A and B are shown apart, each in its own frame.
Chain A
Amino acid sequence: MRVTFTVNGRRHEADDVWEGESLLYVLRERMGLPGSKNACEQGECGSCTVRLDGEPVCACLVAAGQAEGREVVTVEGLAAYARERDGTAGTGDLAPVQQAFLDAGAVQCGFCTPGLLVAADELIERTPEPSDADIREALSGNLCRCTGYEKIMDAVRLAAARSDAGGAREVV
């Protein structure tokens, strides 16, 4: 079957999609967007987290046909998505949350990073000043086997603090 949906603001189409195929497979293998990672294929690890009509979901558990006509944001589009949302004119290649992950050393092997970035960005969008409990809850569906999560916590706190400071400057 053919599926058509929007990914990172652009209309994408894929042909000869098998009916049982996941959104993740279509993104990675048919649309050339391998940023979302394929690991557990059962919704346990969060490495494939994308936004589907704004909601963070595991792309491995969405049937490709269910994405028909919907809006998907993947890690590849996170910087542009954040720019548009935050109204920042910056031309940087990275979303604030991506920069914070780099600055805090929250990336080791990097496999879990795309999913964590999408989940963390959505948290800060929804809760600009998250508590540690908020961060832990928002990232509870994303497994990292390298970092022990402390640097990831640091990164999310840093991203939130920076976006908060940005907001405060705008108010002034």
Chain B
Amino acid sequence: MQFLRPASWEDALAAKAEHPSAVPLAGGTDVMVEINFDHRRPTHLLDLSRIRELHEWETGGGTVRLGAAVPYSKIIDGLSRELPGLALASRTVGSPQIRNRGSVGGNLGAASPAGDAHPALLAAGAEVEAVSVRGTRSIPVEEFYTGVKRNALAEDELIRSVRIRKADGPQQFSKVGTRNAMVIAVCAFGIALHPSTRTVRAGIGSAAPTPLRARVAEDFLGAALEEGGLWSSGRTIPPAVAREFAELCSGACNPIDDVRGSAAYRRRAVGVMARRTLGWAWESYRATGNGSTTEGGAQCA
């Protein structure tokens, strides 16, 4: 095994081009487990921990350009206003020790269906910046996950950043597990209200071979909110609408039975999380006065 320690991003890209089988290593929270347990013996480890720009973010314009190796603890501390859904998801990652090392780039590189960041990225809207010596391409996160632990990266590409749309409305995240810390999701759910486009996006984790959006549910809810005039009135979402949204989210799942939970449980739990997170997000939409106000300034109830 060789340990490659590029000092710059350009050097890292050159090393990856020269050694396509090199395994990128940042926080090590996935890769080192595989090496410790002898599940993986790469010819090269490509240490990205010295590349400054991977550990930084930029917040100009409508997106956050999040460096691939920014640890979850920094997202929680520094980006909960711009990326509330991702910050909530980050809080559920592992433990403080793991959050000090693990990163969204690592979650994407590993492409586990159970990665905590995925539902939040899907709900917010994100694009993965994949770079090689050949150039840069931007991959919508929906298209990035191609199978269980498989992603759309070419063998010479590295993840430079994720461009995530800044929140334009409330976002929520929920995850089912046996305790609050150190839990791989049984299943997870992220929701983002986008009042600026009057749309809702929903991301499901660990309930299908890849993380996925619940598009039918999103479309149904978007139409129901529009038809009911709820974006402007800020009225409570009718229970029948929330129930239907939940059922459509359950229907979007394609889960398996495994040690963490059964397929039936996952389908049901995703529906419950969908209904609850929609309720929480809509309540804060109403509470922050994003719904229209009457002429007197009082918000419609």
Contacts and interface: CB of A to CB of B under 8 A. Distances in A.
B181 A141 contact: yes
Interface stretch (B8-16, B93-101, B193-201, B286-294): B93-101
Interface string B63-74: 000000000010
B127 interface: no
A26 B144 CA distance: 37
A43 B97 contact: yes
Interface string A131-170: 0000001101110000000000000000000000000000
A103 B32 CA distance: 37
Interface range for B? 20 to 34
Nearest to B100: A55
A68 B94 CA distance: 25
B32 A141 contact: no
Most buried by A among B49, B97, B100: B97
Contacts of A142: 95
A41 B5 contact: no
Interface in A111-142: 119, 137-138, 140-142
A93 B104 CA distance: 41
Interface string A53-64: 001111011110
Interface of A: 1, 18-20, 22, 41-44, 46, 49, 55-58, 60-63, 65-66, 68, 119, 137-138, 140-142
Given A20-B1, A42-B37, A62-B28, 17 more contacts: A19-B1, A41-B37, A43-B29, A43-B32, A43-B95, A55-B100, A55-B101, A60-B36, A63-B47, A65-B45, A66-B47, A66-B49, A68-B5, A140-B96, A140-B182, A141-B94, A141-B95
